[in-house]
Amino acid sequence: MLRPEFSRFPLKMLVISALGIALPGQACGPDFPYRLLLDRNATLLYMPEGNYAFEASRLATFDDGLPRWQQPAEPEAPAPAIAQLRGSSSLAEAEQMKVDLPEAARLYTLGALAFHLRDGAKAADYFRQVLALPAEQQSDWGLKARYSLGRALMGDFPAQEEGGATATDGRAEPAALREALQVFGEVVEAVKAGAPDPAYLSLASLGQAGRISVWLGDLPGAAHLYARQAAQGDPVGGLSLQYLSAYLIKTANRAALEKSIDDPLIQQLVTIELFTRSGNLQWADNNNSPEDVARTVSGVVELLGRHVKTGFAGSDRLAALAYRAGNYPLTETLLKNAGDGGLSWWLRAKMALRKGDVATATANYARAAAAFPSDESWGDQRNESFEQENIVPVCRVSGEQAILALNRGEYVQAMTLLYRGKDIYWQDVADIAERVLTLDELRQFVDKNAPPPATPLKPRAGEQYDWQPLTPDLQLRELLARRLMRVGRYEDALRYFDIPNYRQSAQELAGLLAQGADKKSNKVARAGAYYQAAVRLRTEGMALTGYEMTPDYAVYEGSFSYLGDAFDTRERKEKSWISVAEASRAKQSLPVADQRFLHYRWQAVKLAEKAADLLPPKSQPYAAVLCNAAGWVIARDAKTGRALYKRYIANGTQYDWTPGFGYNCPKPDFGSVK
């Protein structure tokens, strides 16, 4: 349950849980994902934040005797007799009513009415009357009465409709609070003994008992109760732990932390608060500066370092916190007794990299990848550039392994490792597939790891396509198809175009190119074929030959002209981890000429020029072909536009649309050529 002591914390503390210390403005555009390969050194040395909900759920062991929390069903409408009692204008009126109800139901409803009216004594009396009935008469009302008795004893009344009173206004005296603690414990024990608990009153009782423990100054006791609640999956338990941990790490509450710090669960709690939500410190109270945040973190880490014992259950998390705080000596000390979990080996890998020991780091990464459960997820995070990353540790570790594999020249192995997180790191997968692997290496990888869809896909054209996202396997097949098209392996490419209209367009483009190259055919017919191929490439080039990443960014359908080149080392101040051999492969994979955004437009221009070469210079289609070709690039490349215009002026015939060359062009009339 939520605690009033912590209600003064601003709400924004609760929602900005995975951000870095600084929060710049978000760039325009979609949620750009984090790219592991763009700054490899930073990727390898950075330790992501953990996830509070995940960590909180692990502070206590799941209790098989208590229910696993799920979203409760909508409550059913009350029986008419109960609704009649609830609708009374006063408790006295309800007490005089004659209703057809079991005695337990009648007494509980009267107690609930008294509770709603904030008459704690009357409510408690009625709830005790329910509990005094023989067990067979209490039915399900007994557990409800015991839970509600605890609320009445602690003064946890509903807020009044007027005057702004809150549920904590009637907090009881310590003696009543201790009695309420006992009552809530009885609810938990009753459920463990077999009492049905469809409303999860046992889990709510753990939360209420934690709340009372806070009121009585027993913060470790509260933490243990909230942890039990969170372990059953109840999100209120996790949220209550967040309030408690956020309270404890504040400098103003250092005395409370020092009083509680010897409890191992408190040690774990403040550790995971800073490991998973350190960015929140900047937003607490008076908008702390990064320096204030750093001092707070280092102060808590130093306090923990003095009090934790060997074998501390959260040693790996504390080591991760120390690493994130830049306290590498403490990180190394803690890792000596941090066990063999995935996080410990991940940190050991990063520490080895900081020492330049790549061989040890490689071995530690392998241990980390094997130790992390495949279903462990730390949720979405954003870095200082507001790039989003879904942290699945086993996938992130594999991605970092891939960086080292690339550096060793094990390119297919790097692709295999990175493909483990293909849904998360698709752009990095695409960079390797498109720029590092040879075409045959990629084709073999696709044949082994990305089978064609079992069910034929729908056309992807205009409103006829429902725009369901393609899976990474299908995206990789499309990427391979476009690579094959770019080098003229058209028949091979058709096998990997799974979207039917793309495959048809690719086949038609290949046919037009073949017709244009057929020297046995009529020149005008060949020119028409080349021009139609050029138009097809201009209008559908992104889907047929476009690069997924640099330079075309088909991943965003060409909406952005530059998103960073993962193989550009010119501005790297730190180690790039890009070998000469890898850089050479990446360079060779780019277009031989016209290495620019929407590169296929310039290739379309070249096809149009081939068409013009086959046409009489004084003919209308000659002028129209060159005019249209100029229009495809003139806004981005005035030089090419001028060259096409000069060719037209030098060889062609003037028409009334000549002043609009490149902007207002007619269709070529190939039938006009005799």
User: What pTM value is reported for the model?
Assistant: 0.83
pLDDT band, very low/low/confident/very high, at 461 (cuts 50, 70, 90):
low
Q: Band of the pLDDT at 31, cuts 50, 70, 90?
A: confident
DSSP state of 432: I
What tens digit of pLDDT does each residue of 471-514 get? 999 999 999 999 999 999 999 999 999 999 999 999 999 999 99
- Confidence bin at 540 (pLDDT 50/70/90): very high
Q: What would the pLDDT profile of 374-410 be if each residue is shown by its tens digit?
A: 999 999 988 777 788 999 999 999 999 999 999 999 9
Q: Is the dihedral of CA 50, 52, 53, 54 positive or negative?
A: positive
Paired strand residues for 33 = 388
Match 């086993």 to its residue by tokens: 394
Predicted confidence (pLDDT) per residue in 32-64, tens digit: 899 999 999 999 999 999 999 899 999 999 999
Answer whether 502's CB lies under 8 Å from 460's CB: yes
Candidate from 252-261, 548-557, 561-570, 581-590 with smallest mean pLDDT? 561-570
| 413: confidence class by pLDDT, cuts 50, 70, 90 | very high
Binned at pLDDT 50, 70 and 90, residue 168 comes out as very low
**What tokens appear for 168 in the block?**
């904590």
Nearest CA to 372 out of 349, 399, 341, 344 is that of: 341
**Mean pLDDT in residue range 146-173:** 74
**pLDDT reported for residue 558:** 86
Which of 431, 391, 390 minimizes the C-alpha distance to 414?
431
Q: What is the pLDDT of residue 460?
A: 75
Residue 265 half-sphere exposure, CB side, CA atoms within 13 Å?
19
* pLDDT classification of 312: cutoffs 50, 70, 90: confident
The Cα–Cα gap between 635 and 642 comes to 11
Q: Which residues contact 332 (CB under 8 A, 6 or more apart)?
A: 351
Residues 232, 235, 236: CA angle, nearest 5 degrees:
105
Which residue is it, tokens 């338990």?
237
Query: How far, in Å, CA of 497 to CA of 483, rounded?
Result: 11
